[in-house]
């Protein structure tokens, strides 16, 4: 599978957006998942749920994904950005005028 890596500015914009949304909606890091973690699904109880390809009725909706190394880096960047945003909200160290 070809690995696609976003441009640096797109990555920064994505990290900012993800971080703001996670803070706004109170989401924790285990909710941040890559396509490779979610693209195999099946219908259960009228809803699509994650599945393993070995399960009956499972379908693979895979699309190009930067992969596990990218997700580790992304999560690290998001955690750092959330920490910065929380400090900004508290007016603590690292508070930057925008």
Mean pLDDT of 22-32: 92
This prediction has a pTM of 0.66
Residue 10 pLDDT > 80: yes
Who contacts 11 (Cβ-Cβ below 8 Å, separation ≥6)?
A: 74, 77
CA distances from 34 to 30, 46, 84, 90 (A): 11, 23, 23, 31
Token representation of residue 57: 């009725």
Residue ranges of domains in the chain = 8-90
Average pLDDT taken over every residue of the chain: 82
pLDDT in tens, 50-76: 777 788 888 777 777 777 888 899 999
């Amino acid at each position: 599978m070809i690995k696609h890596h976003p441009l640096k500015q797109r990555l920064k914009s994505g990290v900012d957006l993800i971080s703001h949304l996670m803070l706004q909606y109170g989401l924790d890091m285990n909710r941040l998942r890559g396509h490779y973690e979610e693209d195999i699904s099946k219908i259960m109880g009228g809803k699509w749920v994650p599945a393993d390809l070995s399960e009956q009725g499972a379908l693979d909706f895979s699309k190009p994904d930067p992969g596990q190394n990218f997700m580790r880096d992304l999560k690290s960047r998001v955690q750092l950005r959330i920490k910065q945003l929380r400090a900004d909200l508290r007016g603590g160290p690292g508070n930057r005028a925008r």
